[in-house]
Amino acid sequence: MQPSSLLSSLHSSINLHSTPSLSLLPPSSSSSSSSSFLSFHSSSSLHFTPLNVSFSPLHATSPTKTKGLSFRVTCASTNQPLKVMISGAPASGKGTQCELIVQKFGLVHISTGDLLRAEVSAGTEIGNKAKEFMNAGQLVPDEIVTAMVTTRLSREDAKEKGWLLDGYPRSFSQAESLEKLKIRPDVYVVLDVPDEILIDRCIGRKLDPVTGKIYHLKNFPPETEEIKARLVTRPDDTEEKVKSRLDIYKQNAKSISSTYSNIMKKVNGNRPKEMVFKDVESLLSQAQGEKVKTATSGKPALKSEDSWKGIPTRLNNIPHSREIRNYFYDDVLQATQRAVNDGRTRLRVDINIPELNPEMDVYRIGTLMELVRVLALSFADDGKRVKVCVQGSMGEGALAGMPLQLAGTRKILEFMDWGNEGAMGTFINIGSIGAKEVGEQDDMFILVAPQNAVGNCIIDDLRAMTDVAGQRPVILINPRLKDLPGSSGIMQTMGREERLVYAASFESCYFFRLLYYMGTQYPIMGALRMSYPYRYELYKRVDEAPGKEKYVILATFPEKPNSDEINDAFLGKPRNQAKKASGFWGFLSGVF
């Protein structure tokens, strides 16, 4: 039996406040501010304002042509057209692969290099500006290129047929511009070719100005003498300029790929172009297949990140209102579903609203249980058999204890209201942590706050469990896998490194943490949030009027920022400026 509409009974409260009193936070304060003595910078340095430039439609399309197709995948059939980015060093074969991709998948090819060359040859204002940078083998200023790309992406054909973005983003700030506009590809293909090959490829490259086709004097010579006679060489294809372009590519590649690390696919581009295309084609077909599957599975469409409502306010009001709790449950659920649908199998959720922060005495085990119930019922509603696991008592004799915050958890789970659809015992089962808990019928596992306790380490049981679980998703909710000091000192020494590596193998799919001044838990200064597959977002809490607050975004990060980066963002300092947190700005130190 598959439970349907299990979610209808989700939010019946279980009312289990472990500590109803509140000592650190004023009971009904809505994080009122002492921030007025701090002069935060109110605007984000990451704002993107497209330039007011217009492009002639003639030049706005890529010259890539499509020719006699044997078979074309119709990407628009799901109303979810494919979105692809292709990247790689100069002459890694992006343009060559794009010709083949367009033939097969019918995507709209948007090549910034081609768009710029079209502007240059048309002698437009933009072309004249871009020319000097291009001829020197340097990047054209972001404002020009970004405006060009976003204008082109917003056209109907790209929305309908899907797009293939070639040569953009080429710097971290370009990637950030797209992220801010919520423009994300389904797959990010990187062509990998050794440097020495790249230089030879550039020097031998010839272009046909009539068809836009790319040739190489040795590798792909022109078909006829007539074509050969009209071929041209790009002005930036000299050895010296290629080296400069290659340097620039290398300087930027890492920061861009970190933005897309979860969808990045590297392809060996140092093979005949047909072989390279085989790999590219299979990656794109796979991405397309996944889109079709999601669109036709009848599952409720995930709310897009665009509809995210922002951070809820009054988070210092404890207990949290039902709306606030539901808000976070929903936020975690969406991120987790996206990650599981993307085939991620080792996941962790870290949510530290006051009621779920074990370091605060307003911690409520009931809130944790409610969150677990929302996740489990939702996955069960999708037809998955979910095992919800809580670690049992650990160790022996005097050490046979269990972490305080988990005491009674299993009983609570068993007594909870799991709806009237019979999910409990069929699609949802309760177990503990360990290899023998993994049944053949289980499709996935949700582990409730697995944690090391003094003198005892949960990681061996966890590892044994994940070994047996194989490719089935294992989701840790608020794990605490750091070593804890024990009287024997064993945990600090034996196998420590291995344990840390194992703990780090779980990928974060949701992160939320409130930020305070160093050493305090009041007032709330801001928040850090990450929802898979998006970036870490740093927010500042601002008092608009007495009793009225809001959160404004300050910056985004591809990886979890450290406290220096957070401090710098609060101070409005440019990124990457090495600086230690100091003075009262050290408020975030120690948070992580």
Contacting positions for ligand AP5 (CB under 6 A): 88, 90-96, 112-113, 116, 133-134, 137-140, 145, 167-168, 170, 174, 201, 204-205, 214-216, 219-220, 236, 245, 269, 272-273, 276
Which residue number, 117 or 540, has a Cβ lying nearer to ligand AP5? 117
Most distant CA atoms of the chain, gap in Å: 90
For ligand AP5, which is the closer residue by CB, 139 or 380?
A: 139
Q: Which is nearer to ligand AP5, 273 or 338 (CB)?
A: 273
DSSP assignment letter at 470: T
Q: Which is nearer to ligand AP5, 95 or 561 (CB)?
A: 95
Question: Residue 12 is which amino acid?
Answer: S
- Give the CA distances from residue 454 to residues 103, 360, 399, 400, 575, in Å, rounded to whole numbers and listed in that order: 61, 19, 9, 11, 39
Nearest to 388 by CA among 421, 432, 345, 426: 432
- Residue 252 falls in which region: left (phi positive, over 0), alpha (psi -120 to 50) or beta: alpha
- Residue type present at position 25: L
In the complex, the smallest distance separating the C-beta of residue 140 from ligand AP5, rounded to whole angstroms, is: 4
Residue nearest to ligand AP5 (CB): 113
Shortest distance in whole angstroms from residue 271 CB to ligand AP5: 6
DSSP state of 123: T
SS3 118: helix
Question: Alpha carbon 350 to chain centroid distance?
Answer: 15
Residue 229 three-state SS: helix
Q: Select from 103, 255, 232 the least CA-distant residue to 164.
A: 103
- Closest CB 144 distance from ligand AP5, rounded Å: 8
Catalytic residue positions, numbered: 94, 170, 205, 234, 245
Q: Which is nearer to ligand AP5, 279 or 331 (CB)?
A: 279
CB of 559 to ligand AP5, least distance (A): 23
Shortest gap between Cβ of 219 and ligand AP5 (angstroms)?
Answer: 4
Q: Which residue is listed with tokens 């836009």?
A: 212
CA distance 387 to 137: 56
Query: Which DSSP letter does residue 420 get?
Result: S
- Amino acid occupying residue 404: L
In degrees and rounded to multiples of 5, residue 516 shows phi and psi of: -130, 170
Q: Give rounded-to-5 percent helix, strand, coil for the chain.
A: 40, 15, 45
Structure tokens at 261: 């690390």
Residues 175 and 5: their CA atoms lie apart, in Å, by: 40
- Name the residue with tokens 């054209």: 140
| Rounded Cα–Cα distance for residues 202 and 193 (Å) | 12
Rounded to 10°, the helix 112-122/125-135 angle is: 120
What is the SS3 assignment for 268?
Answer: strand
Judged by CB, which is closer to ligand AP5: 134, or 469? 134
Judged by CB, which is closer to ligand AP5: 258, or 405?
258
Yes or no: say if 412 and 16 are a contact pair by the CB < 8 Å rule. yes
Q: Name the residue nearer to ligand AP5 (CB basis): 31 or 87.
A: 87
Distance CA 565, CA 576 (A): 8
Q: Least distance in Å: CB of 86 to ligand AP5?
A: 8
CB of 268 to ligand AP5, least distance (A): 10
Q: State which residue, 84 or 475, has the beta carbon closest to ligand AP5.
A: 84
Minimum distance from residue 164 beta carbon to ligand AP5 (Å): 12
Contact 119, 71 (CB under 8 A): no
Taking the complex as a whole, how short is the minimal distance between the CB of residue 106 and ligand AP5, in angstroms? 19
Q: Give backbone dihedrals phi and psi of 366, rounded to 5 degrees, phi first.
A: -60, -35
